Amino acid sequence: SIYFTKAGRAGLFRFRQDDGEVETVLPDLPASSWNDWGLAGEFLAWSDESGIWLGKLLQPGSARLIHPRPSQVVGLSVGVSSDGSRLYASYTDDVEIDLATTEFRP
């Protein structure tokens, strides 16, 4: 499958290569997060105006806020490791870019 977002529209979509159908797999991904998300296996991370979120793709309501959005950030990009144990984030402000990784424990 190919996962994608649409600028200005809420949701994460999947193009199924076997039958050519497009379906919405996460309708509540904010439209503001269309370019700030990462998918690995069953795990999806995204950022919005409140912070960085991590959830399971096919489990609605599983998302949890991992970190509040840092103040004075111009850009915030995220990714997630294939096993969901690490989140990668890139913060951009007016002067520099910071990279961070964190490990999650149950």
pLDDT of residue 95: 64
Which pLDDT tens digit goes with each residue over 57-68? Answer: 878 788 889 888
Contact in structure between 6 and 14 (CB atoms under 8 Å): no
Tell me the three-class secondary structure of 36-96, residue by residue.
CEEEECCEEEEEECCEEEEEECCCCCCCEEEEECCCCCCEEEEEECCCCCEEEEEEECCCC
Whole-number pLDDT of residue 22: 93
Q: What is the pLDDT of residue 97?
A: 60
pLDDT, tens digit, 9 for 90 and up, residues 35-79: 788 888 888 888 888 888 888 887 878 888 988 887 777 777 788
